[in-house]
Amino acid sequence: GAGVSQTPSNKVTEKGKYVELRCDPISGHTALYWYRQSLGQGPEFLIYFQGTGAADDSGLPNDRFFAVRPEGSVSTLKIQRTERGDSAVYLCASSSQGGAGGYTFGSGTRLTVV
Amino acid sequence: ILNVEQSPQSLHVQEGDSTNFTCSFPSSNFYALHWYRWETAKSPEALFVMTLNGDEKKKGRISATLNTKEGYSYLYIKGSQPEDSATYLCAFPRAGNMLTFGGGTRLMVKP
C-alpha cells in the first residue's frame, strides 16, 4: 500500500478483555516496529521485527503483551487481560533502511480501557 | 539508558511569531537524529534526518541544526501559522535501529 495502515483507529474495551491491533506496513519493508505513546509522553519502543522474527521485544512491558508477524508483512499486537494503564496510542512503523534511513508511521490505534 | 529530552513541553505562540525548541541527546556513539511532526489523529511525519555535526536542514519555514559534540539539536519555525500546531518529536536511533523518542514539544499557534 501507499502507507502504513493501522486498524482499528480507535478501540474502547473493558478492563480484563483481550484486544488485537493490526499493522499493515509498506509493501517490501522488512523492518516493523511497534511503539506506545501514553498521554504527555513521547512514543516508547515495544517490539521490533526483522522479517517474520521478533529481533527485539525488550520494550514489551509484561507477558500480557505479545506480537506476531507470521508472513513478514502484517503484524498483530495482542494484549491480554487489558488494564486501564494500557490506554495509549499504539503506533506502528516500517522501514526498509532503518537508522539513518526513513521510518514511515501509521496513524496509530487509540486504545481506551474502561 | 538513553535519555532524549525536549524542551519546552508545550508552547503557545501567536500567528506570525517565530519559535524554536530544543532536543538534547547523548553525544557519545552518535548515529543520527530524527525530527517528526505529529498532528492529532494523523501519522507522525518525518521532517529531517540529521547525521553530520554542524548540519543545518530546511523545509519551507522549518529548519533544524545539529551539534553532535554537545548533544543538542534546535528546530526553528519562522512565521508560525495555525497549521504548524502539532507535537514535534525528536528521536535517536539505537542498536537495532529502534528509535528512542523525546517527550515532544506541543506547539499551539493562535490565529
In this prediction, residue B1 carries a pLDDT of: 53
pLDDT at residue B46, rounded to an integer: 92
Taking the C-alpha atoms of residue B48 and residue A17, their distance in angstroms, rounded to an integer, is 40
Does A35 touch chain B if contact means CB atoms closer than 8 Å?
Answer: yes
Distance CA B103, CA B90 (A): 8
- Between CA A7 and CA A5 the distance in angstroms is 7
Please report residues of A whose CB lies closer than 8 A to that of B88: none
Determine the pLDDT at residue A97. Answer: 65
Q: Using an 8 Å Cβ cutoff, are B2 and A44 in contact?
A: no
Interchain proximity A100–B102, CB inside 8 Å: no
- Is 90 exceeded by the pLDDT of residue B35? yes
| Residue in chain A lying closest to B10 (CA) | A40
Give the integer Cα–Cα distance in Å for A33 and A54.
Answer: 10
Place of cell 505479545: A66
Q: What percent of chain B has pLDDT over 70?
A: 97
DSSP string of chain B, one letter each residue: ----EEE-SEEEEETT--EEEEEE---TT---EEEEEE-TTS--EEEEEE-STT-EEEETTEEEEEETTTTEEEEEESS--GGG-EEEEEEEE-GGGPEEE---EEEEEE-
Gap between the Cα atoms of A8 and A25, Å rounded: 14
pLDDT band at residue B80 using 50, 70 and 90 as cut-offs: very high
Quick check: A1 contacting B, CB < 8 Å? Answer: no
Placement of cell 521478533 in the chain? A54
DSSP state of A3: S
Nearest to A42 among B42, B93, B101 (CB): B101
Q: Which residues on A lie below 8 Å from B44 (Cβ)?
A: 43, 91, 105
Q: What is the pLDDT, as a whole number, of residue A100?
A: 52
- Tell me the nearest-neighbour CA distance from A110 into chain B, angstroms: 9
Asked whether the beta carbons of residue B97 and residue A45 sit closer than 8 angstroms, the reply is no
Tell whether A75 is within 8 A of chain B (Cβ): no
pLDDT tens-digit map of A32-82: 999 999 988 999 999 999 999 988 999 999 999 999 999 999 999 999 999
Rounded to whole angstroms, the Cα distance separating B88 from B81 reads 15
